[in-house]
A and B are shown apart, each in its own frame.
Chain A
Amino acid sequence: MNLNINGDDHEINVETEMPLLWVLRDEIGLTGTKFGCGIAQCGACTVHIDGQPVRSCSYPVGQVKGKVTTIEGLGSPGVLSKVQEAWIDNQTPQCGYCQSGQIMSATALLSNNPSPTDDDIDRAMKGNICRCGSYPRIRASIHAAAKAMKETGA
């Protein structure tokens, strides 16, 4: 089957029920997307399919119809996205393991809703666990990214 990931086509030959996560990580070698629970509970494996956030650990690769974007595909080559920049400015990550998933969820939120309220953030982000408890800075980073995106029209 053919998968379009971050703009590149990949021909892969695996069981259709293999979760997208393990195709990305073990077959293609894109390890920025993380494994946390395998049962759609933690959000560490969040990627986009046609811009919508999905839990790749529970998404059979055979059902992927659209274009997949992973953390490696955010921004443009050599340039971070506004969300990633905000994450650095606010010194958000701790161990960092959950952060790819957090950033993918936040990116999807901001593309649907350019000025999210705290309640909007709660709703969009509560599927993403951070065991290090970086939540206060995740919230601050989303607000900061929203502002930056508005200012630059990005």
Chain B
Amino acid sequence: MSKLGTITRRTFFVTSTAVVGGALFGTYKYKQPVPNPLLDGDDAIDPDFASPNPYIKIDKDGVTVITPRAEMGQGVHSTLAMMVAEELDLDWRTIKTEHGPASNSYYMSIMIEAMVGHQYDYSTSTQFKRRLTHIPAKFLGIQMTGGSMSTPDGFVKMRSAGASARLVLIQAAAIEWSVDPDSLTTEDGFVINPVNNEKLAYTALAVKAAEIDAPSHPPLRDPSRWRYIGKSVPRVDIPAKVDGTAEFAIDVKLEGMLHATIKMSPRFGAGIKSSDTSKAAAMPGVEKIITLKNEGFAVIANNTWRAFKAANAISVEWETASYPAEQAGIMKAYEASFNSEPNGKFDVKGDIDLYFADVGDFIEAEYRVPHLAHSTMEPMTAVAQVKDGRVDIWAGNQAPVVIRDAIMKIGDYKASDVHIHTTFLGGGFGRRAESDFTLAAYNIAAQTDGRPVKVTWSREEDIQHDFYRPAAIARFKGVMGEKKPAAIDVQIASPSIMLSMSKRGPIPAIGPDKLIAEGTAGQPDDIDHMRIQTFAPKLDIPVGFWRSVGASFNGFLHESFMDELAASKNIDPIAMRLEMFGDLAPPGNKVVEKVAQMAQWNGREGINGTDNDRGRGFAYTLSFGAHTAQIIDVSMTKQGIKIDKIYCAVDVGVAIDPRNIEAQIQSGIIYGLSSAMTGEITFADGKVVQSNYHDYPAMRIHQVPEIEVTILENNPQITGVGEPGTPPSIPALANAIFALTGQRIRELPMNKHVEFV
């Protein structure tokens, strides 16, 4: 590491803790146990249950694991429940899970860990600094789901919860039987006395256990004794998802419920100039039309379709937007930002200016990626009721306390007055980390005299009022050495997501936004001369977290350019990648070697060099701690390019449930490829052009080949799996197309340049 690199990293760390006043919080206060929201307010005082900690509730009917992360398809409820079951000795078939209430006790403790060091750096001092960030994270108290953090965050927490509950139950049984607790064992939901084979069910011990204090740092089992972790179990949420009974927000039914929809300004930040709602108000079933501040309208009706129809009948002229009205003008603002002060500098090594001044030959390339919408399968939907000083919100959401706190502020409520009921999410991908749709539902319900109201967005509203994955332009300069790149100089222009989010959420944006470069920066690239500079054009187009965030485009930028460099000297991209690791990240070497072996890699062009109608591409990205390498095979058909096979090797540190990890990696790849092939949000007249699946398409079954996934466990730390599959999928496809056709795709989506089946 160069000196400058070290200083930069330390600076980030200081900034990140300073943001929340880390130095002010003593570890004493940090070490206090969090309050147990299950024994609090109106969700509690039930003498028939025990809750030794915020994650477990035991009553006469069974054991419920509170899995306080959003179940949005990633199987997190089962993953977290497995961790509890592992220590508590539960029978998997009897386990119940619940999202639980909104509570700061369910804060994401590793939320700011990513600000410390490089993801591949597991030195003692970096690990120590990472742990220090748990202190400010606790005081921020943000319960959220995202960043592939649920699994690493829960890995110790959930097992400890299970272990402490087990000790309490053993103690309760020991009192019951008047024996030494150390002589007792547990199995499948029972405490057992091995001396006489007597058994007591946890459910029968609940009342007694409720009186016993739970230990806060119970010992955890050695991995050699794991019974669930590492095996695949049937996911708890799946039966309800095949018989139609799974409840998403859009399925919530309440007595006297109204059905509403919204019609928001199609130009972000631009209000209503003039409007006529009389025709809409007179339509059948319409109860009321209200304005939402000056930003749009809500139509409240007795049926969703009637609300949709009436919303279309509102005639309105909107103000103009502050940003350029046309796509070309927006991209001009991106281009102009290259002339401004950099927002950040990353991975600065050697003397890049001096190096390029001296060198003769270098390769230059400019890449572009568009804005993207999330287009979760369930459009934004929330149900709200405001009655007798109490607020209830039912929503699939990724940040319940953020919603709660915002409503407390708007309506001057106490935390105990605001109840967030998290339903299943019909897809999240980062979109449901935003509170706009839940707050709109609250604002509408505040005007229905206590009647509950379900607010369903049309797909058009959903696509045209997103917090988009920002577009980006990247300019690369590189020099290829003998076996690996000798120098790369990168400039990336893309708006700051943190800045956009700070305008609407609890986290301030201070300092450079690392997200703009993540995936180009922070890769285990042992390159002597290197510099990555970021530029952040400021436009009032809302941008937000989109599955894998900065890495969603930086994976494509970095790995496409690496492939260009390798191709320029006719070097095998996998051989080059292995050289480039140096000794920075041994688990990275392993995933690359593994994927090459899976695909029987024998060069990029033509499978085994025999077939000119085929091409294969390779890419590797380190994101969210997980080293991920992919190879994609494509071929040319009469209907266009066809993806024939995808191979992926991923290192997750510890694999909790391999079958679920496989599904998540496949999911991440398909989400990435959907965007790569056809995904694009553009602007005209200040409005988003695309509106539904006909012009914002998603990959369909006939385009998806077999996806072979191999899971490795060499990483020193456990990682999540929701996002790491996405970043390398896009460049692996672009590099495969290059191998197939010789055409280098430097602009997404790819269907602007090639045709797909």
Contact = CB atoms under 8 A, between A and B. Distances in A.
A74 B243 CA distance: 8
A98 interface: yes
B625 to A, nearest CB: 22
Contacts, number: 178
A112 to B, nearest CB: 17
Task: Tell me which of B375, B459, B669 has the highest count of chain A C-beta atoms within 10 A of its own C-beta.
Answer: B459
B227 interface: no
B244 A129 contact: no
A59 interface: no
Interface string B427-445: 1110000000000000000
B510 interface: no
B698 interface: yes
A31 interface: yes
Nearest to A130: B377
A117 interface: no
B377 A44 contact: yes
Nearest to B302: A26
The interface centre, meaning the residue of A19, A99, A135 with most chain B CB atoms within 10 A of its CB, is A135
Assign chain B's interface to a size class. Answer: 35 or more
A153 B297 CA distance: 55
A66 interface: no
Contacts of B707: 136
Given A18-B305, A26-B303, A122-B701, A131 B241 contact: no
B485 interface: no
Nearest to A74: B243
A91 B75 CA distance: 10
A139 interface: yes
B666 A91 contact: no
Interface string B53-83: 0000000000000000001111100000000
Contacts of B245: 32
Q: 9 closest A-B pairs (Cβ-Cβ)?
A: A32-B244, A133-B670, A96-B241, A95-B73, A94-B73, A97-B426, A71-B244, A122-B702, A22-B305
Interface of B: 71-75, 232, 234-235, 237-246, 248, 250-251, 253, 259, 284, 303-306, 308, 375-379, 424-429, 456, 458-459, 659-660, 663-664, 666-671, 674, 692-694, 698-702, 704, 706-707
Interface of A: 14-15, 18-19, 21-22, 25-27, 29-39, 41-42, 44, 70-72, 74-75, 80, 84, 87-88, 91-100, 103, 121-123, 125-126, 128-139
Given A103-B242, A133-B699, 17 more contacts: A22-B304, A34-B248, A34-B378, A36-B693, A38-B308, A91-B238, A91-B659, A95-B72, A95-B428, A96-B426, A97-B426, A100-B244, A128-B701, A131-B427, A132-B73, A133-B667, A136-B706
14 contacts: A18-B303, A38-B458, A93-B238, A94-B664, A95-B377, A96-B248, A97-B248, A126-B700, A130-B377, A131-B674, A132-B427, A133-B699, A135-B699, A136-B707
